[in-house]
Structure 1
Amino acid sequence: MDIATYLAATLKTLRLSRSLSLTQAAELTGVSKAMLGQIERNESSPTVATLWKIATGFNVPFSLFIAPPAAHAPTAYDPQQQAMIVTPLFPWDEALRFELFAITLAPGAVSESTPHESGVIEHVVVIEGELEMQTQGRWQRLAAGEGLRFRGDEPHAYRNASALPVRFHSLIHYVKTA
């Protein structure tokens, strides 16, 4: 099963398992009813930002949508601009409550992330290149080997102002809910 087909089936199964209409799912996620329907019918490929909105709205890990069980390193592309490539290194782990991604951000690309669920902590470590991160409304630069831990439940953004791709790891740690 290709990633688009897997994503479509996963979204529809998740929505139906919660007995939600497309309208209710749109209200929950902040993604339009039309877009959710197109994704479910495999007529549209969502951006990484849209997938994050859906995951946050449904309160599920991001990797649920891009990591089929027993798959080998599936990748989520941002089809709007091919600016961001996200590959799960360690998909969602229920016991440890985290997921780890390898991310490549194209030269000149900016990715704004909507807040994740309450209590989420994100850890970013630059592997190659230079990454600019916006947290708490301010930008800071991270070089290869440097990292940043921040609240993922607040708006944040990633920017590559260089002429070369930047590669980094993002570990997302979800707080245990009662």
Structure 2
Amino acid sequence: MEEASGSPAASHLARNLVNLRRTRGLTQDMLARESGVPRSTIANLESGEGNPSLAVLVKVAQALAVPIDELLASPRAMVRHWAADEVALRTKGRGVDIRPLVPEPVPDSQMEVMDFAPGALMGGTPHLPGTREFFTCLAGRVKITVAGDAFEVGTGEVLAFPGNLPHSYQNLDGVATARGVSVVILAKAGV
């Protein structure tokens, strides 16, 4: 990318915006849709020619899931450290804690770490046809039932299945916690 002409802040914004957008696998059109900002505005910002309002910066930062200062800071290595309490943890089903494996949005996928209390059971949410799910068991034994068929997945094993089918997860151990990683490759609507 050429150096943006204009102020240092415009130059920083241009370089940071291009890097963040590309890191997330987004086109200018995709970022425009996510942020509610016209694509021409995104293009102007990336060229260093834009003079954005605070409202535009807020929308773009939210769409990229970064603080505004990360858009305006001097370009640096794209490194960010999240403290454990900054990574959203939610409970689903009975005794299942889920947190994102990657705390930034990754286009067309969901990646989560799942901790199952002893005996915990959780129903999965069916996705669009064409979605593929992968479950890697990191510890313990998890029974995954897909469309009525049960599969036992032990430590180090992986189960792949169509994500649009009804499915559920259960820790088979009544004493120890089980842990796994779920990666869902989402199908695009209308495809």
Could you say whether these structures have the same fold, taking a TM-score greater than 0.5 normalized by the shorter chain as the test? yes
Q: Secondary structure at the match of 2:136?
A: strand
Give the match for residue 144 of structure 2.
Answer: 133
Whole-Å separation in 1 of the counterparts to 2:125 and 2:89: 20
AA in 2 matched with 1:167: R
Whole-Å separation in 1 of the counterparts to 2:169 and 2:180: 10
Identity of aligned residues (%): 23
TM-score (norm 2): 0.51
Confirm whether residue 159 of structure 1 aligns to residue 170 of structure 2.
yes
List aligned pairs for 1:67-86, cutoff 5 A.
Answer: 69-70=65-66, 72-78=86-92, 81=94, 83-86=95-98
Q: Secondary structure at the match of 2:118?
A: coil
Whole-Å separation in 2 of the counterparts to 1:177 and 1:116: 10
CA RMSD of aligned residues (A): 2.2
List aligned pairs for 1:29-178, cutoff 5 A.
Answer: 69-70=65-66, 72-78=86-92, 81=94, 83-90=95-102, 91-94=104-107, 97-162=108-173, 163-178=175-190
- The question of whether the paired residues in 1 share the 8 Å contact of 2:144 and 2:151 is answered with yes
Q: What are the Cα deviations for residues 119-163 of structure 1, in whole angstroms up to 9, with x where unaligned?
A: 211100000111111013111111100001101101001011202
> Number of residues paired by the alignment?
108
Deviation (angstroms), 1:109: 1.1
TM-score (norm 1): 0.55
Whole-Å separation in 2 of the counterparts to 1:122 and 1:92: 17
Whole-Å separation in 1 of the counterparts to 2:89 and 2:151: 27
Whole-Å separation in 2 of the counterparts to 1:154 and 1:167: 22
Q: What are the Cα deviations for residues 3-40 of structure 1, in whole angstroms up to 9, with x where unaligned?
A: xxxxxxxxxxxxxx9xxxxxxxxxxxxxxxxxxxxxxx
Deviation (angstroms), 1:117: 2.1
Specify the structure having the higher radius of gyration (Cα): 2
- The question of whether the paired residues in 1 share the 8 Å contact of 2:127 and 2:186 is answered with no
Whole-Å separation in 1 of the counterparts to 2:145 and 2:160: 12
Deviation (angstroms), 1:118: 2.3
- The question of whether the paired residues in 1 share the 8 Å contact of 2:65 and 2:105 is answered with no
Structure 2: gaps of 5 or more residues: 1-35, 37-63, 67-81
Q: Answer with 168-177 or 85-94: which moved more.
A: 85-94
Whole-Å separation in 2 of the counterparts to 1:75 and 1:168: 15
